[in-house]
Amino acid sequence: MTEERRKDTLETSETLPFIEKPFAISDEARKSENESGREDDGKDTHCGFWILKGPSMQRFATEKMYVILYGLAGCVMTMTFAYFNATITTLEKRYKIPTKVSGIISVGNDISTMLTAAILGYYAGHGHRPRWMGIGLLTIVAFCLLTSSLHFLYGAGEDALKLTREFGQVNETLASQERDKKLCQPSAGGCVQEEVGQWVPQVFLFAAQLIAGVGQALFYTLGIAYMDDNASKSKTPAMLSMSTFLRMLGPAIGYSLAALCLRLYIEPTLEPLIGREDPRWLGAWWLGWLVLAAMTLVSAILLFMFPKELPSSKRRRLQLKQTERKQSLPLKERSFGDMMKTVRKLSKNKVYIYNTIASILYFFGYMAYWIFTPKYIETQYRQSAAMATMATGTVALGFSAAGVLISGYVISKYRPSARAMACWNAIVDFVTVAGILCYVAIGCEGSDRLNSLTTLSAGNSCSASCHCDYVHYAPVCSPENITYISACHAGCTERTKDALGRTIYTGCQCLGSSSLNPQPESQFAVDGTCPVDCFSEFLIFLGVMCFLKLVGASSKSTNLLIALRCMPPEEKTFALGLGSMVASLLGFIPSPVFFGWLIDNYCLVWGKTCSNKGNCWLYDTKSLRYALNLSAAVFIFLGGFLNIAVWYHAKDLKIFDDEQSPKDSLKNTNNEVEMKPIDSKPLAN
């Protein structure tokens, strides 16, 4: 390294807040550095690859640039998973998928993460980590393209096309026959023909999620360890906070992108006959995946350019080489036997074990809201898919980002102890439980009343022919503002149009049956669901959710710092990978399946395919609200007690390096002060 280049590095570090100023390099350290440089020709610290390299690229090989790029790449990755969650109800309707099955599909990435995280973290952790991370992002590109390709293979679907103006213009006879199916026709046997099931798209979606999980494992396991290894420990909280903040912008942008796409009809070139508030509306779910694929590809290319080791980190490592540290020891060849010894060693680390289990319990309970919040808002508060995704993403996740920034500032400024961090994690768990209990109380009477439509007409002979286990959901609204599953369930026999062009069903014998003097003129129904005003309750729910997002996000940095500091540095990458694998096995995988099964248990109106149940059209909202929220609260409540155990055993855990004065730094240069990493010693059991 020339004197001019060292000067440039020093000047650059003055302007970058996340970079610790490099130590003055002694003659012996400089000699060691020159020898190391001759060995690898500077390749390990060289920025760029292939034709995208050169002297002008080396200025970007800094800690600050890595934090920004890693955060932005993480932002794009979280956009993809948020987009999938935001469009999951549309996918259920389009491909007739029960919620339990969609829950299984959504954990495909966690299954592959579980199977690969520990192995990739152990073996790839000592390779060129930024390039491995870039490969991981390429698998996310494949995930986006595979998912969107379903639309190009299967099209918009017959159900969606039947609800467009062009469908009747192309084939008026077929359109008329389709409308007649909704009427009460006892001679036809009542039950409608079963719809064609499509299991191939479900397998396709699951396979795409499996591929994405490999990229997720590479990106998170290697990315955090690379950041911690290439930065001063005192700067790690600020760097984690900044990268987490950038990552958390991803769900907000992903949900906003989904809201924009879902406002368009699934086939944008056709004119739909229903509004966005109609539960049969299908948005252009496939459109956003093409945008996400392009953004992820750019992020992968940029990550490929980062060096194996940052120049500033190499200088620190060369200084530590003068002391009796692990950096002075040659790297051992990685073997399966050594990996199992590391597993046994970590299993005796109480802080690591309790912190991991506490995180798993929190994830298990809160996963229901990460995945099914848009669906929850649609069913409980009768909001459109676009409104539900916008509220979940842009508004609520904005509070999450604020929580991460605030916690990062507080941690960097006040440098709390490990015990204080564990105590805060426990407080966050118990506050979250209190907020979830508030969810139980925030119901909507108008929405809950809709679940009475099944029993309302079940005992009436006027619509007996329509009562099958599976029905075609085509709701109509009576003058009493009661929604019926279909015109057949309302006992309607005729169909006409009013002056506004709306479809009106007449001769509806089931309407007014509860009145003493039913009037024939009132026995009509309008196509579509009755309007339900749940907006006030929705705003209250949104306020509580934003508060929980703010509080919950503040524990992300504290939880991760405890995880990073409770293990020796040489075990860091593997321990993160192992923790990710266990979290996937016990939390991320079973939780969506469990809550998907729970939601399906409260379905009132099922669609039907030739081979299985289809998607659910209507839920018992009140019972679902109690079951879903109370179940989630139990798991998070148990996690709070595990964080108390972390607090008890973390009394000797150090999070930060000891503060050093300028004189100490000069002494360090001459090797007169021993530099002792705070996490180089395993925790006492």
What per-residue confidence (pLDDT) applies to 194?
Answer: 46
- Give strand pairing partners of 609: 195
- Asked if residue 356 and residue 266 are part of one domain, the reply reads yes
For residue 510, give both structure tokens.
């089931």
For residue 557, give both structure tokens.
């940095």
Contact yes or no for 356/67 (Cβ under 8 A): no
Domain ends where: 527, 556, 590?
527
Cβ–Cβ contacts within 10 Å for residue 213, how many?
26
Query: Is residue 99 in a domain?
Result: yes
Look up the pTM and report it. Answer: 0.67
Contact yes or no for 111/589 (Cβ under 8 A): yes
Gap between the Cα atoms of 617 and 475, Å rounded:
10
Query: Is residue 439 in a domain?
Result: yes
For residue 342, give both structure tokens.
């590391």
- Asked if residue 275 and residue 139 are part of one domain, the reply reads yes
Ranges of residues in the chain with a pLDDT under 50 are: 1-40, 170, 173-175, 187-196, 324-331, 454-458, 513-517, 659-685
What per-residue confidence (pLDDT) applies to 14?
Answer: 36
Q: In the β-sheet with 494-497, what is the strand arrangement from edge to edge?
A: 483-484, 476-477, 524-527, 503-506, 494-497
Gap between the Cα atoms of 217 and 653, Å rounded:
27
- Asked if residue 612 and residue 482 are part of one domain, the reply reads no
Query: Is residue 8 in a domain?
Result: no
Q: Which domain holds residue 162?
A: 63-312+340-444+534-649
- Asked if residue 360 and residue 268 are part of one domain, the reply reads yes
Query: Is residue 685 in a domain?
Result: no
What per-residue confidence (pLDDT) applies to 22?
Answer: 35
pLDDT in tens, 94-116: 888 888 888 888 888 888 877 87
- Asked if residue 569 and residue 422 are part of one domain, the reply reads yes
Gap between the Cα atoms of 472 and 168, Å rounded:
19
Phi first, then psi, for residue 397 (nearest 5°) are -75, -20
Gap between the Cα atoms of 173 and 289, Å rounded:
36
Query: Is residue 79 in a domain?
Result: yes
Query: Is residue 591 in a domain?
Result: yes
- Asked if residue 518 and residue 567 are part of one domain, the reply reads no
Query: Coil, strand or helix: which one is 607?
Result: strand
- CATH number for the domain spanning 388: value is 1.20.1250.20
Gap between the Cα atoms of 394 and 569, Å rounded:
37
pLDDT in tens, 663-680: 443 344 344 333 333 333
Domain ends where: 473, 504, 527?
527
For residue 191, give both structure tokens.
């039950």
- Asked if residue 557 and residue 451 are part of one domain, the reply reads no
- Asked if residue 500 and residue 440 are part of one domain, the reply reads no
Number of domains in the chain: 2
DSSP 195: B
Query: Is residue 181 in a domain?
Result: yes
Instruction: Give start and end residues of each alpha helix (H) in 305-349.
Output: 311-320, 336-347
- Give strand pairing partners of 292: none
- Asked if residue 481 and residue 552 are part of one domain, the reply reads no
Residues 6 or more apart whose Cβ sits within 8 Å of residue 654: 418, 565, 678, 679
Phi first, then psi, for residue 503 (nearest 5°) are -80, 125
Gap between the Cα atoms of 64 and 535, Å rounded:
44
- Asked if residue 214 and residue 280 are part of one domain, the reply reads yes
Query: Is residue 380 in a domain?
Result: yes
What per-residue confidence (pLDDT) applies to 613?
Answer: 66
Gap between the Cα atoms of 370 and 253, Å rounded:
15
Domain ends where: 498, 527, 556?
527
What per-residue confidence (pLDDT) applies to 276?
Answer: 78
Q: Where are the beta strands (DSSP E) in 550-653?
A: 603-608, 613-619
Among residues 266, 227, 231, 265, which one has the least CA distance to residue 246? 227
User: How would you write 269-280 as a 3-class SS string?
Assistant: CCCECCCCCCCC
Cβ–Cβ contacts within 10 Å for residue 176, how many?
11
Gap between the Cα atoms of 215 and 136, Å rounded:
4
CA-CA-CA-CA torsion sign (628, 634, 640, 646): negative
- Asked if residue 194 and residue 125 are part of one domain, the reply reads yes
- Asked if residue 432 and residue 452 are part of one domain, the reply reads no
Gap between the Cα atoms of 644 and 118, Å rounded:
27
